[in-house]
Structure 1
Amino acid sequence: MLKIVDGYIVKKYLGTFSFMLILLSIVVLVIDVQQKIPRIERATAIDPKLDLNYFLVHFYPFWIINLVVTFLSILVFISVIYFTSRMANNTEIVAIISSGASFHRFARPYFLTSLFIAVISLVVNHFVLPWANIKKNQLEAYTYNATNKEKILGTAPVAAQLSKTEYIFINSWNKQEKRGYGFLYQKFDKNRKLVYELKSTDVYWQQAKKSFMLNSYLEKTINKDDSEKLGQGFELKKDYGQDPEELFPNELLGQNKTTPELIKFIEREKDKGNSNLNSHLNEFHQRTSMPVSIIILTFLALSLSSQKKRGGLGINLAIGISLAFVFVFSFEALKVVSENKVLPPALAMWLPNIVFLPITLFLYLKRANQ
């Protein structure tokens, strides 16, 4: 009999979750398209191929993957609240417990199903989502307002630390055209004394040669006796070991990398002496902490909704939606806190789980002992 009950609960869990997933995707897609049509039309005016149909095929499917991953914990929590409350109101849970099954045994299919979803989410977060983000981020900037679009595609000063003694500065760099003006490379010795400097009026990235091309350059080498050796020319090819996206990373770069690639990137930046890595570390830790939250929120929802209450399904859903949004959006708030270096990224991205786990255990054990 319990195996039949297990199958019934798993079917309810996955069925409700799938329905919520499809409903959320459709509703949010329609709302987002309506909101972004004016910006898409401006993109179409610049490039005729970037019309609404192009975005529906090449942007929104990958955007939805990102959206689902972000709100997966909310979907799970509300789904469990919904179908468990209905079971409680129909006295199904009372009947199951009265037949001799313990509450722990009743909770087993909840655990197994949440574990199944969490494992899939873990794989998606670490390997599938970065692929979707690459596709999404190619067009994401065109859906931003003018200010945020300029940050991604526009022209701005950039700087990069190649190692603990090497630096690159470009006064004006266009991220889309990969071309800039006012290039400066400096190398220092261990005593922070300048030993080499290279300047050029303009610089551009040559994809075929995987190198930077410098035009009208001037180089200066400073010897140990402080004498200087000067050189100049019209064109110089320089390879700094990374392409412009790696050298001048934006906030979206970490999203585009699978976890092994992200780990290598973070380690490489640490070796170079880059201490401004919290946004990428947040991305790394969140990929694991969010799937774990699926299991925690499943048991929290079970504990809150498995007993018949005055107000029934409505009150349970109200409590569930409120808690779920507090839980998920706390991640976004803690990202900002971490990027401002108030909290370490690992603590910031695991803090919601750390806070909600003991609450969940308390409520679950209280419910199990009733």
Structure 2
Amino acid sequence: MKIIDLHIIKKYLGTFAFMLGLLTLIVLIIDVQAKAPRIESNGFSVTEFLIEFYPYWIVNLIITFMSILVFISVIFFTSRMANNTEIVAIISSGASFHRFARPYLITSTFIAGVALLLNHFVLPRANVKKNELEPYTYSAKSREEYIGNVEVAAQLSKTEYIFIKSYNQKERRGSGFMYQKFDKNRKLTYQIIANEFNWDDKKQHFVLNNYLEKTVRTNDTEKLGNGDVMTKAFGHPPEELFPGVLLGQNKTTPELISFIDREKEKGNANLGNYLNELHQRTSMPVSVIILTFLGLSLASQKKRGGLGANLAIGISLAFLFVFSFEALKVVSKNQTIPPLLAMWLPNLVFGPVALYLYFKRANQ
């Protein structure tokens, strides 16, 4: 039976590697052709992007579609084994269906373990490189949302706020800066207004130009001050103070957890994107095991229509699985559904289905 185990593991990994390589090649060619005009219009060459962007983009692609590729791979090679009566021969030799499924469990657990490691520690480092250049593959309007001028309203703590009329995310400078601090009764105690500001990366502080400072004393009198230049540090760089949508992707899991905890201490309740990112890093690898057994249950019995019918079913279920994840991300972004539940819901639905079909197939 060990020979058969190695045979199945080899088929599993071989088919998965082939599917992975084929998808990567096809998607890479299509993506480069589609984005080349935008890349070149932004002053870059396609060659630069092939070296400095696409290797990290491919890592993201592999992780995103890993569970789906596993599912289709299992259906593909298991259907071929069923059509060639290999599975009938194995079961007829005295092995139970549970014993036949053991190499599927071993291989899927191995892939899930690798995916967990990549998701929590490797992918965020790749995303840092990917996200630096990815805005230059977008349209001008979309690119502006990531590296252009935006309006900012940030909560630094339960009593401190920053408002910026126009902030350039790439250059880390802007205009219309206002910092306010309140007491526990929500009464303004301190305020700074500056016409312009910029972040000094070397000295790790903000430089405020043409500022007006106001301090409200306990007797409600005000002390006013102004000047040309003031330096002010708020404890973190702009990326942390004014976090964007992509910030969560760039942090390893320990860093992301620390960031979420810090934002909760500030009183920031708008953490749906970051919580989705955190919980998805574990739920997606677990789906590899679930979809492996779902694919095994669907494809291990020879049926009318053969490989084509099984692949059609597999691709349909894969599309449903991916669509449900993306739809739940949108719903949980504003925490209509708790992000933890949203990112685990597909597994909670597909898991019992896979378990039911597996035992049904095992008892036939």
Q: TM tier, shorter chain?
A: over 0.9
Q: In 1, Cα distance between the equivalents of 2:327 and 2:30?
A: 24
Matches within 5 A, 1:25-104: 25-44=24-43, 50-104=44-98
Q: In 1, Cα distance between the equivalents of 2:351 and 2:194?
A: 56
Which amino acid in the other structure matches residue 161 of structure 1?
A: Q
Match of residue 221 from structure 1: 215
**Are 1:337 and 2:349 counterparts?**
no
Q: In 2, Cα distance between the equivalents of 1:314 and 1:156?
A: 50
Whether the aligned pair in 1 keeps the contact of 2:270 and 2:334 (CA below 8 Å) is no
Q: In 1, Cα distance between the equivalents of 2:139 and 2:334?
A: 24
**Shift of residue 341 of structure 1?**
2.4
**Are 1:231 and 2:230 counterparts?**
no
Whether the aligned pair in 2 keeps the contact of 1:73 and 1:328 (CA below 8 Å) is no
Task: Name the SS for the 1:191 alignment partner.
Answer: coil
Q: In 2, Cα distance between the equivalents of 1:43 and 1:330?
A: 35
**Shift of residue 160 of structure 1?**
1.1
> Bigger CA drift: 332-341 or 304-313?
332-341
Which amino acid in the other structure matches residue 91 of structure 1?
A: T
Q: Which runs of 4+ in 1 moved over 4 A?
A: none
Q: In 2, Cα distance between the equivalents of 1:156 and 1:337?
A: 24
Whether the aligned pair in 2 keeps the contact of 1:36 and 1:143 (CA below 8 Å) is yes
Q: In 1, Cα distance between the equivalents of 2:8 and 2:194?
A: 68
Matches within 5 A, 1:1-370: 2-44=1-43, 50-370=44-364
Structure 1 portions without partners, runs of 5+: 45-49
1:114-152 Cα distance to aligned partner (Å, 9 max, x none): 000000000000000000000000001001112110000
Aligned length: 364
- TM norm structure 2: 0.99
Task: Name the SS for the 1:187 alignment partner.
Answer: strand
Task: Name the SS for the 2:226 alignment partner.
Answer: strand
Q: In 2, Cα distance between the equivalents of 1:303 and 1:241?
A: 54
1:22-79 Cα distance to aligned partner (Å, 9 max, x none): 00000000000111111112112xxxxx211000001011001101111001100000
**Shift of residue 189 of structure 1?**
0.3
**Shift of residue 234 of structure 1?**
1.0
Q: In 1, Cα distance between the equivalents of 2:48 and 2:125?
A: 19
Q: In 1, Cα distance between the equivalents of 2:31 and 2:14?
A: 26
Whether the aligned pair in 1 keeps the contact of 2:163 and 2:178 (CA below 8 Å) is yes
**Shift of residue 340 of structure 1?**
3.0
1:300-340 Cα distance to aligned partner (Å, 9 max, x none): 00000000000100000000011011112211111000013
Which amino acid in the other structure matches residue 41 of structure 2?
A: R
Task: Name the SS for the 2:94 alignment partner.
Answer: coil
Which amino acid in the other structure matches residue 321 of structure 2?
A: F
Whether the aligned pair in 2 keeps the contact of 1:165 and 1:190 (CA below 8 Å) is yes
Q: CA RMSD in A?
A: 0.6
Whether the aligned pair in 2 keeps the contact of 1:220 and 1:228 (CA below 8 Å) is yes
